[in-house]
Amino acid sequence: MLQIKVFGTKPPCANCKRAEAQAQKAAERFPGQVEVIKLDALGDEAEKFGLMTTPLVVVGEKVVGAGKVVPTEKLISIIENQMGGS
Protein backbone atom coordinates (compact mmCIF):
# COMPACT_ATOMS: atom_id res chain seq x y z
CA MET A 1 0.00 0.00 0.00
CA LEU A 2 1.31 3.44 -0.95
CA GLN A 3 1.63 5.84 1.95
CA ILE A 4 1.19 9.60 2.05
CA LYS A 5 2.99 10.88 5.12
CA VAL A 6 2.03 14.31 6.39
CA PHE A 7 4.45 15.72 8.95
CA GLY A 8 3.10 18.56 11.04
CA THR A 9 3.19 20.29 14.36
CA LYS A 10 1.30 19.29 17.49
CA PRO A 11 -1.13 20.89 17.88
CA PRO A 12 -1.47 21.17 14.10
CA CYS A 13 -1.20 24.55 12.42
CA ALA A 14 -3.77 25.61 9.80
CA ASN A 15 -1.55 24.57 6.87
CA CYS A 16 -0.82 21.19 8.46
CA LYS A 17 -4.56 20.58 8.80
CA ARG A 18 -5.13 21.60 5.17
CA ALA A 19 -2.26 19.41 3.96
CA GLU A 20 -3.73 16.40 5.74
CA ALA A 21 -7.21 17.12 4.33
CA GLN A 22 -5.84 17.35 0.77
CA ALA A 23 -3.95 14.08 1.27
CA GLN A 24 -7.12 12.37 2.56
CA LYS A 25 -9.09 13.56 -0.48
CA ALA A 26 -6.40 12.21 -2.82
CA ALA A 27 -6.27 8.87 -0.98
CA GLU A 28 -10.05 8.49 -1.32
CA ARG A 29 -9.57 8.24 -5.09
CA PHE A 30 -7.53 5.03 -4.55
CA PRO A 31 -9.53 2.94 -2.05
CA GLY A 32 -7.48 0.18 -0.46
CA GLN A 33 -4.32 1.33 -2.29
CA VAL A 34 -3.28 4.54 -0.54
CA GLU A 35 -3.23 5.46 3.13
CA VAL A 36 -2.52 8.76 4.87
CA ILE A 37 -0.31 8.77 7.93
CA LYS A 38 -0.06 11.86 10.12
CA LEU A 39 3.32 12.19 11.83
CA ASP A 40 4.93 14.58 14.30
CA ALA A 41 7.39 17.04 12.80
CA LEU A 42 9.65 16.48 15.82
CA GLY A 43 9.68 12.69 15.45
CA ASP A 44 12.63 10.59 14.33
CA GLU A 45 11.16 9.86 10.90
CA ALA A 46 10.92 13.57 10.06
CA GLU A 47 14.68 13.82 10.33
CA LYS A 48 15.04 11.10 7.69
CA PHE A 49 13.32 13.39 5.17
CA GLY A 50 15.29 16.50 6.15
CA LEU A 51 12.26 18.34 7.53
CA MET A 52 12.99 22.04 7.92
CA THR A 53 9.47 23.49 7.68
CA THR A 54 5.92 22.22 8.01
CA PRO A 55 3.86 20.80 6.59
CA LEU A 56 6.07 18.20 4.91
CA VAL A 57 4.28 15.84 2.52
CA VAL A 58 5.89 12.58 1.43
CA VAL A 59 4.39 10.15 -1.11
CA GLY A 60 6.05 6.76 -0.95
CA GLU A 61 9.55 7.83 0.05
CA LYS A 62 9.65 11.03 -2.03
CA VAL A 63 9.20 14.52 -0.57
CA VAL A 64 6.57 16.26 -2.71
CA GLY A 65 5.92 19.36 -0.64
CA ALA A 66 7.69 21.27 2.12
CA GLY A 67 6.26 24.31 3.84
CA LYS A 68 3.18 24.34 1.63
CA VAL A 69 -0.11 22.57 1.06
CA VAL A 70 0.04 20.20 -1.92
CA PRO A 71 -3.30 20.37 -3.79
CA THR A 72 -5.37 17.20 -4.12
CA GLU A 73 -5.10 17.09 -7.93
CA LYS A 74 -1.30 17.30 -7.80
CA LEU A 75 -1.20 14.52 -5.21
CA ILE A 76 -3.44 12.37 -7.41
CA SER A 77 -1.05 12.86 -10.35
CA ILE A 78 1.96 11.96 -8.18
CA ILE A 79 0.18 8.86 -6.84
CA GLU A 80 -0.74 7.74 -10.37
CA ASN A 81 2.87 8.13 -11.48
CA GLN A 82 4.17 6.17 -8.50
CA MET A 83 1.60 3.42 -9.03
CA GLY A 84 2.49 3.09 -12.69
CA GLY A 85 -0.34 5.15 -14.15
CA SER A 86 -3.24 3.16 -12.71
- Say if pTM beats, i.e. exceeds, 0.85: yes
> pLDDT of 5-32, one tens digit each?
999 999 999 999 999 999 999 999 999 9
At residue 84, the pLDDT reads 84
The domain total for the chain is 1
At residue 85, the pLDDT reads 58
How far apart CA 73 and CA 43 sit, in angstroms, is 28
Q: What is the CATH number of the domain that holds 78?
A: 3.40.30.10
How far apart CA 53 and CA 43 sit, in angstroms, is 13
Domain membership of residue 77 as a residue range: 2-82
Q: Which long-range contacts link 75-82 to residues 24+ away (Cβ below 8 Å)?
A: 75/4, 75/22, 75/23, 75/26, 76/26, 76/29, 79/2, 79/4, 79/26, 79/29, 79/30, 79/34, 82/2
Decide if pLDDT at 64 tops 70. Answer: yes
